[in-house]
Amino acid sequence: MENSTISKEEQITRDLLPQKFGKRGMIWTASLIVIALIGLFAYYRQLRYGLVVTGMRDYVSWGIYISNFVFFVAISLVGSLITAVFRLTDVHWSTPLTRIAEIIAVSAIVFAALIIIVDMGRPERFMNLLIYGRIQSPIMWDVIVITTYFIISIFLLYLPLLPDLKILIGRKGEGTQKFQKFYRFLGSFWKGLAIQEKINNKSVTILCITIIPVAFSIHTVTSWLFATTYRPGWDSTNFGAYFISGAFLVGAGGVAVAMYVFRKVYKLEKYITEIHFDKMGKIVVMLALLYLYFNVNEYLVPAFKMKKPEESHLQELFTGEFAIMFWFAILVGMLLPILILLFKGGRKPLPMFLVGVMVVVGAWFKRYLIVTPTLLHPFLPMYNVPESYHHYFPSWEEWAIAMGSLAGCLLVITFFVRVFPIIPIHETIIEQHETAESL
Partner 1 sequence: MKLLNHCKLFFVFLFALGTLVSTAQDAKPSLLLDLVYHQKDNVYPFVTVFAKSKVDRKFLPVANISVAIYLGQATDDGLVGTVLTDKDGRGMVTFPVKLQKVWDSLSSFHLIATTSATKQYESVTAESDITKTKISIDTTWADGVRSVVVSIKAKKGKDWVSAGEVETKVIIKRSVGNLSVGDDENYTTDSSGVVTAEFKKTTIPGDEKGNLTLVAKTEENEKYGSITIEKTLPWGVPFVSNDDHFNRRTLYATRDKAPIWLIFLAGSIFVSVWSVLVYLVFQIIKIRKAGLNS
Q: Which residues bind partner 1 (CB under 8 A)?
A: 132-136, 141, 144, 148, 151-152, 155, 159, 162, 188-191, 193, 195-196, 199-200, 202-203, 206-207, 210, 214
Q: Are 119 and 142 in contact (CB under 8 A)?
A: no
Nearer to partner 1, 195 or 439 (CB): 195
Q: What are phi and psi of 171, to 5 degrees?
A: -70, 130
- Tell me how far, at minimum, the Cβ of 228 lies from partner 1, in Å: 9
Nearer to partner 1, 159 or 335 (CB): 159
Give CA–CA dist 303/289, Å, rounded: 21
- Tell me how far, at minimum, the Cβ of 223 lies from partner 1, in Å: 17
Q: Are 87 and 202 in contact (CB under 8 A)?
A: no
- Tell me how far, at minimum, the Cβ of 17 lies from partner 1, in Å: 22
- Tell me how far, at minimum, the Cβ of 199 lies from partner 1, in Å: 5
Q: What is the CA radius of gyration of the chain?
A: 23
Angle at Cα 351 formed by Cα 349 and Cα 357, nearest 5°?
100
Nearer to partner 1, 200 or 273 (CB): 200
Nearer to partner 1, 186 or 370 (CB): 186
- Tell me how far, at minimum, the Cβ of 148 lies from partner 1, in Å: 6
- Tell me how far, at minimum, the Cβ of 248 lies from partner 1, in Å: 21
Nearer to partner 1, 132 or 304 (CB): 132
Nearer to partner 1, 139 or 268 (CB): 139
Nearer to partner 1, 38 or 162 (CB): 162
Sign of the torsion formed by the C-alpha atoms of 219, 220, 222 and 226: positive
Could you give the count of Cα atoms lying within 13 Å of 35 in the half-sphere of its Cβ? 18
Which pairs from 286-293 meet CB under 8 Å and 24+ separation? 287/245, 287/248, 287/249, 287/252, 288/249, 288/334, 288/337, 288/338, 288/341, 288/359, 289/338, 290/245, 290/248, 290/249, 291/242, 291/245, 291/246, 291/248, 291/249, 291/334, 292/334, 292/335, 292/338, 293/245
- Tell me how far, at minimum, the Cβ of 130 lies from partner 1, in Å: 12
Q: Buried b vs exposed e over 258-270: b needs ≥16 C-beta within 10 Å? A: bbbbbbebbebee
Nearer to partner 1, 1 or 195 (CB): 195
- Tell me how far, at minimum, the Cβ of 187 lies from partner 1, in Å: 9
- The one-character DSSP state at 290 is H
Burial (CB count <10 Å: 0-12, 13-18, 19+), residue 219: buried
